[in-house]
Amino acid sequence: KAGVTQTPRYLIKTRGQQVTLSCSPISGHRSVSWYQQTPGQGLQFLFEYFSETQRNKGNFPGRFSGRQFSNSRSEMNVSTLELGDSALYLCASSLYRTSYEQYFGPGTRLTVT
């Protein structure tokens, strides 16, 4: 079974631009969560989608948004990019919600200049 895939793997953007990242979960998984990983803040939860609805949201500004499609694929969008948004963005999928194993993709490395 294929794992979680994320595209693109690397991205360079300029301050003020916006970016969209894509995540395809493991086949059959219905929950997709997004995390931001930086050397200073570590792994931080952004939001979780299940059945096309956002179920949980972390402590990030409204510039960070996401959505989930009927096939469980998910996208996250960051508008008005700031230098501090440079990070590895990780997507994780899970079969259901609560106490189920989450499997991570390889991440998208976003650099904001």
Site residues, other proteins (CB under 8 A): 4, 31, 33, 35, 42-45, 48, 50, 55-56, 58-59, 90, 94, 97-107
- Pick the closer one to other proteins by CB: 14 or 28: 28
CB of 56 to other proteins, least distance (A): 4
CB of 16 to other proteins, least distance (A): 28
- Pick the closer one to other proteins by CB: 8 or 16: 8
The owner of tokens 């106490």 is: 99
CB of 69 to other proteins, least distance (A): 18
Asked if residue 20 lies in contact with residue 76, where contact means CB atoms within 8 angstroms, the answer is yes
Distance of CA 2 to the CA centre of its chain: 18
Burial 38-53 (b: 16+ CB within 10 A, else e): eeeeeeeebbbbbeee
**Under the phi-then-psi rule, with left for phi > 0, alpha for psi from -120 to 50, and beta for the rest, what region is 99?**
left
